[in-house]
Amino acid sequence: MAKDLEMGYLLDFYGEVLTEKQREMLRQYYHDDLSLSEIGENFGITRQGARDAIKHGENSLLELEQKVGFAARYRQIQQTLEELEQLVIDARFEATGPHARLTTRDYVATLNRMLKLLRSIDEINES
């Protein structure tokens, strides 16, 4: 199942580099969960022909990701931004209101963590 999610992610990210036919076959296979036989019927080819076309498209997506790595970097940046957002939300909650309990030391530590996360985004982009 994880491989299916990964390939669906790569298809969403790089799908435009595939031929329209390959992209549609992969979309039907990964997003619509159609069988190889159903895809073959949709395209007027055999089940084996559909399988071969899908495998070729998968290999193209995997090779592209291996060469440029944009999808993995994008995912890392998104995760870092989510972590940064949560830190901001937590700090705002703990620094304001009647139950504020964030000390200056805690606040500085949180700001340093935020700065570290922001710098890590630059490092991700440079890799």
Class of domain 2-68: mainly alpha
Q: Residue 29 burial (CB < 10 Å; 0-12/13-18/19+)?
A: buried
pLDDT for 3 equals 61
Q: Tell me if 18 sits within 8 A of 60, measured CB to CB.
A: yes
Q: Tell me: the pLDDT tens digits for 15-50?
A: 999 999 999 999 999 999 999 999 999 999 999 999
Q: Tell me: the pLDDT tens digits for 60-116?
A: 999 999 999 999 999 999 999 999 999 998 888 887 877 778 788 888 898 999 999
Total Cβ atoms within 10 A of residue 127:
9
pLDDT for 94 equals 82
**Verdict on whether the full-model pTM lies above 0.85:** no
pLDDT for 49 equals 97
The long-range contacts involving 76-82, CB below 8 angstroms and separated by at least 24 positions, are: 76/124, 77/121, 77/124, 77/125, 80/117, 80/120, 80/121, 80/124, 81/121
Q: What percent of the chain has pLDDT over 90?
A: 72
